[in-house]
């Protein structure tokens, strides 16, 4: 069952950064951050786990889904099969995975203690594997087990899920399985270039909505969840000149039937431009009014900030504020959550 948020305005979405990508790349930065990499013995287990999951994937029969998404672009669908459970449990027992789970749960506990009721679970850190079917099974499994454990321990928590980079289709089955409220998407509208490559948009939104409907209908869930929240002019991404005007994106809210609009700064931790955020609120308000006039009702369609710390300005326009950097030790996004920072920032947001 999907856990949905209250109607309270300006809600915080706290980032739960899962260092799965950091661990499996094992750069010098991983060592500086204290992120354990898989040992030789763990890699041997990983080979067996991946081999087993690949076999399960080949046995999955989803003719409707595989019309629009190849098996290799939605591999996480195999994680829903009962035959995958032994492999998931084996993965959970690996020492580096136990570290990831324990750190994530510890950070969620800090958030909950400080009155936060919504989190976004996301793999880090750069460089990322870009596009559906590109990231290793370890990233898929890490997000699966962290989301599973978070849902088990915090049954009433609102959860969003995200797999970098541009993996909204890969994370969808995981989000459905654990009652997530939203999935974050970097490649719903148009295209750009990230450090890791092109953010290709090949009917990404249509494919997501189609697969969501099939999965939820078969599982007896609500076909409207998880919502897909779309990044507009995503940070760490450059765009051609004709796409650098935010209004080009916002004009497509109703046409493309967006379900949530995320506005970010240019990079992690940088503030959102107020003019851009105000325009997003203006266009969303117009879209909701049009829907109300035409149909007598309107979709939820939240405006969400995706970076930065200018919360008093954000509260003038945003329904949700995604906060990661501001909660971290030294206000650096790859560090662990610092409870003193969480308490301080939440007091600032709440106006205390």
Q: What is the pLDDT of residues 264-276, one digit of tens each?
A: 988 887 899 999 9
Confidence of residue 52 (pLDDT cuts 50, 70, 90): very high
Question: Which pTM value belongs to this model?
Answer: 0.97
Q: What is the reported pLDDT for 266?
A: 83
Mean pLDDT across the chain:
96
Q: 11-350: which CATH number, 1.10.10.60, 3.20.20.70, 3.90.25.10, 3.40.50.1370?
A: 3.20.20.70
- Residue 78: name the closest of 28, 25, 3, 133 by CA: 133
Place of tokens 């009702």: 297
Q: How far apart are CA 118 and CA 13, in angstroms?
A: 5
Q: Is the pLDDT of residue 284 over 60?
A: yes
The pLDDT score that the predictor gives to residue 235 is 77
Q: Which residues pair with 120 in a beta bridge?
A: 15, 160
* Nearest of 191, 195, 194 to residue 204 by alpha carbon: 191
Half-sphere exposure of 117 (CA within 13 A, CB side): 11
Residue 352, pLDDT score = 53
What is the C-alpha separation between 204 and 68, in angstroms, rounded?
Answer: 10
Residue pLDDT, tens place only, 178-225:
999 999 999 889 999 999 999 889 999 999 999 999 999 999 999 999
pLDDT tens by residue, 104-124: 999 999 999 999 999 999 999
Q: What is the pLDDT of residues 84-100, one digit of tens each?
A: 999 999 999 999 999 99
| Domain edges within the chain | 11-350
Residue 155: pLDDT band (50, 70, 90) is very high
Q: What is the pLDDT of residue 263?
A: 96
């Amino acid at each position: 069952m999907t856990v949905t948020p209250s109607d309270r305005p300006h809600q915080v979405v706290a980032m739960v950064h899962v260092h799965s990508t950091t661990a499996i790349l094992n750069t010098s930065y991983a060592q500086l951050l204290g992120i354990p990499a898989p040992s030789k013995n763990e890699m041997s287990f990983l080979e067996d786990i991946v081999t087993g999951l690949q076999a399960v994937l080949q046995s999955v029969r989803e003719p409707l889904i595989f019309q629009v998404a190849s098996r290799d672009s939605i591999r996480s669908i195999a994680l829903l099969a009962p035959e995958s459970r032994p492999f998931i449990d084996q993965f959970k027992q690996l020492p580096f995975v136990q570290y990831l789970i324990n750190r994530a749960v510890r950070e969620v506990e800090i958030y909950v203690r400080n009155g936060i009721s919504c989190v976004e679970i996301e793999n880090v850190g750069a460089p990322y594997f870009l596009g559906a079917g590109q990231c290793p099974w370890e990233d898929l499994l890490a997000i699966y087990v962290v989301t599973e454990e978070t849902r088990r321990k915090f049954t009433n928590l609102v959860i969003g899920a995200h797999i970098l980079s541009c993996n909204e289709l890969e994370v969808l089955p995981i989000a459905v399985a654990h009652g997530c409220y939203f999935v974050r998407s970097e490649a719903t509208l148009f295209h750009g270039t990230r450090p890791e490559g092109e953010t290709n948009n090949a009917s990404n939104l249509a494919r997501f909505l189609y697969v969501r409907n099939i999965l939820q209908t078969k599982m007896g869930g609500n076909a409207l969840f998880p919502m897909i929240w779309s990044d507009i002019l995503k940070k760490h991404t450059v765009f051609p000149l004709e796409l650098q005007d935010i209004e080009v994106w916002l004009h497509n809210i109703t046409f493309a039937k967006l379900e949530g609009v995320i506005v970010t700064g240019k990079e992690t931790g940088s503030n959102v431009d107020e003019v851009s955020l105000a325009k997003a609120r203006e266009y969303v308000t117009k879209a909701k009014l049009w829907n109300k006039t035409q149909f007598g009702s309107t979709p939820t369609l939240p405006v969400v900030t995706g970076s930065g710390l200018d919360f008093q300005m954000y509260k003038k326009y945003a329904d949700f504020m995604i906060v990661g950097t501001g909660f971290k030790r030294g206000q650096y996004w790859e560090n662990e959550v610092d409870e003193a920072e969480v308490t301080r920032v939440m007091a600032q947001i709440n106006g205390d």
